[in-house]
Chain A
Amino acid sequence: MDLFNITNADNFLDTALGSLLFNFDGSIRSGLGDTRRAQIGVKVRF
């Protein structure tokens, strides 16, 4: 099991610069990203 963002810190995404009204970017993400996440996994090497 893996844990990411253990402290559950704010993880801001790529906020837009300036007014969204005049935005001409092709990729914008606003708000918060991942919270603390647990991951369950298994890996086998042979």
Chain B
Amino acid sequence: MTVAASLGDLVRDIEDPELPHVTIGDLGIVRSVTIHGATATVLLTPTYTGCPATEQIREDVADAVRSAGLEPDVRLVISPAWSTDWITERGHQRLLAAGIAPPPPADEPGVTFVDPPVACPRCSSRRTRLISHFGGTACKATYVCNACSEPFEFFKAL
């Protein structure tokens, strides 16, 4: 394995500070890891423009690069815009395991005003209802399950 590839694995294994056990590799926000001499350049794509976790992730990535004995150069690139479609299959499973309903495929940005049916991450019932379009973070909406009465979060398609 090349140095860049093993550093890439190290970076992609960093956990998101706000999503338990979901790595930034699972989220698909690591665009590239390249090494030139003693410097490792990591390109990250923020999920939401104002996501406060972005700064923490930047620092975590810089720490990981330093732990590999390299000088970090961590940059944010916003284009192409991140989509929830970039979340890996393992990411979906980990979200589900954390009690967060994973996102359906993202459509073209549009406003249909129809809220999608969401299956409860605990009991799988589709008899759920929307509480709020936002949750503890901008990327999630708050739902409650009518079958098992558990409130849960839903990772919105973006």
Do A and B come together as binding partners?
no
Q: What is B's interface to A at a CB cutoff of 8 Å? A: none
